Each structure stands twice: as structure tokens, then as C-alpha cells.
A and B are shown apart, each in its own frame.
Chain A
């Protein structure tokens, strides 16, 4: 069966520090991969998605970037964090064909001090 792993689960970072969140998927090949952000008590905001290695689409201009160095690895990064980057970050995967559900990881709670 397929599984998705995100780490770390919780992260506290100072303003201006760099960020790297990692997501890996097991048990499937050529998945679509996604990064979402969820502000406290709010809905989901799609940040990036990827349909293949090195292929990244950005949905919202921001202080963040994403990379996909391997088929089942998706990384969310920032060079200098802002207070507004605080939130709950979720990684998700889906099969390539449309009309299928996405499957989410457990999320990373990021607090910026």
C-alpha cells in the first residue's frame, strides 16, 4: 500500500532563518505531488504541485520554493522565513490520471518567532 511521510512534525524557527520541509511517498511511481498551507482555523491553500521530476508549478507568489529531486520526494524551502510563513504545511500525492483523490501526509506545524 502507499504511504506518505512528512517531517518534521513540528518546527519552531526564527524570522529570517532558512527552511526545508521534506515529503516522501512509498508504494507508488510517478505520482503527482502537492504542497498546501493551512492557516489556523482556515481552509487549504495550494502552494505548489509537481507532475514529474524537476517540474514545479507555483500557485501563489510567495517567500517559498519547491523542488522535486527524485520521483517520490518533494521539498519545500525558504531562504529567509517571514512571520507570515507560520502555519500547518501539508504534503499530498495522487495518481497521474484526473478525477482521483489526493492523499495527505500528517503535516508539519511551523511556528515563526
Chain B
């Protein structure tokens, strides 16, 4: 059974204080690892897809990396508008492409 564990559950940062969120996964045959951002009461917003170990992707203050067992979402010099829940999901195997999600990390950036 595919499993995704995210840590920490919640993270409070001061504006400009860089940090990383962790996503550990166990899956048979990783097809892709996805990061989404979710604001309260809204649907998840797609950020990145990573396909193989060693891959990195960047978008503004966010950088996602992937190893064979985990992914990191690095946030550099965060701003209050980066406050949200960040969800990690894996897509595995063949056939239909279900996403298995972690519970998310709730990030709060204070001014």
C-alpha cells in the first residue's frame, strides 16, 4: 500500500526565515511526486511534479527536490502570502493515476 508522511504537521516562521518541509513516501514504482498548495476552504493548487531521484524544480521562493525515499520543499525568505497548507502526493504503478496524499504541512509566516 502506498504511503505518504509529511512533517512537520505545522510550522511557524518569521518573514524571511527559510526552512524546509519533508515528504517521506513508500510506493511501488513511482510515476510522479506532486506538490500542491491549499488555502483554507479552497481546492489544492498545483506547484510541481518530480519524476526521478535527483530532480529539482523551482518557482519563486519555492524549490522542490526528490530522492528515492523523500522529497523536500524548501522555502527561501518566505513572505506572509506563502502561508497555506502544502500537500505532497505520489502517483504510482500503471493504469489509473490515483494520487495518494499526505496530511499536509500547515505553514504560517508572520510579518
A joins B in a complex: no
Contact surface of B with A, Cβ cutoff 8 Å:
none
